[in-house]
A = this chain, B = another copy of it.
């Protein structure tokens, strides 16, 4: 049994971590922090957890409960995480940080999209936690920069194409659709029910902060700098991300050709499923699970490739992948505690 703590446990990714950790056979949840609900019992704030745990939210970094934790999950807002990580690292904790703070290797990029970085010295030590790609490095990492939700879906959808040199690197467009939990649990006007329901809209077009993260990792895969166009949209649903990614094929291929390459690429990855030819994924088919399902279409007229990838943004896009990474770090079965099947419907 490993002892784990969750800092920032009252947001949507935080409560999802609580849920997953409690269902994990080899983890003991010893501490959960929340400034907002400090000193309140978890089950009073979240009646869904009534009767299954006996913990009280504590203020961030409160000494006692955190001390015994070997693994610490950070579900804190950006900026807050980088204030906390250095001291956790010093105390020898293994840290899985769900914020963006240690994902970008270039502090200037971070500054451009977020703000000045307060712990740039750690940027070189973090491992980008896209498990399927960095599994070996994750095994021995102390600090995991857990990927963003959009980047997870985008990268899993595009890396096989890019690694196998299938598409023109200047041709990539990612048209992404996300449920509302991606925006977090802060009470802000654009997240109100009546502002979101019965509508679909693009937002942060061409300037979303996940763009450099996708470009960095896709560039790594391509061994070349990549610039792409990323257009996020807000969908009136709780969970789920669909990316519809477009790229021009370098040579004539069929969907079956591409499917073969993708199937081979992910043949050992339990959480990536490739749809059969002619089938395209819905976010509904991965809801509540850690799966990323990928479908392929090739337009014979324009020789364009469309890759469609779906995830549950709170699982594979955040807390599920965080636990997947922890499983790798701890030498557990990679799917331990996150092998729930999708909820249908």
Contacts and interface: CB of A to CB of B under 8 A. Distances in A.
Interface of A: 12, 15-16, 19, 22-23, 44, 46-52, 170, 173, 175, 177, 179-181, 185, 187-189, 191-203, 205-206, 227-229, 231, 233, 235-240, 242, 244, 246, 270, 273, 275-276, 279-289, 293, 295, 297, 299, 301-302, 304, 306, 308, 310, 339-345
Given A51-B273, A175-B244, A297-B206, A197 B238 contact: yes
A187 B185 contact: no
20 contacts: A12-B344, A12-B345, A23-B340, A47-B275, A47-B285, A48-B285, A187-B187, A193-B196, A197-B198, A198-B239, A198-B240, A198-B287, A198-B345, A199-B285, A202-B308, A203-B280, A228-B302, A229-B246, A233-B242, A288-B343
Contact of A284 (B193, B199, B280): B199
Given A180-B193, A189-B187, A238 B345 contact: yes
Most B CB within 10 A of own CB, among A237, A281, A304: A237
Contacts of A50: 273, 275, 285, 293
A235 B236 contact: yes
A280 B201 contact: yes
Contacts of A344: 12, 15-16, 19, 46, 48
Nearest to A315: B343
Given A170-B302, A206-B297, A299-B206, A201 B282 contact: yes
Given A229-B304, A306-B231, A22 B275 contact: no
Most B CB within 10 A of own CB, among A199, A228, A279, A310: A199
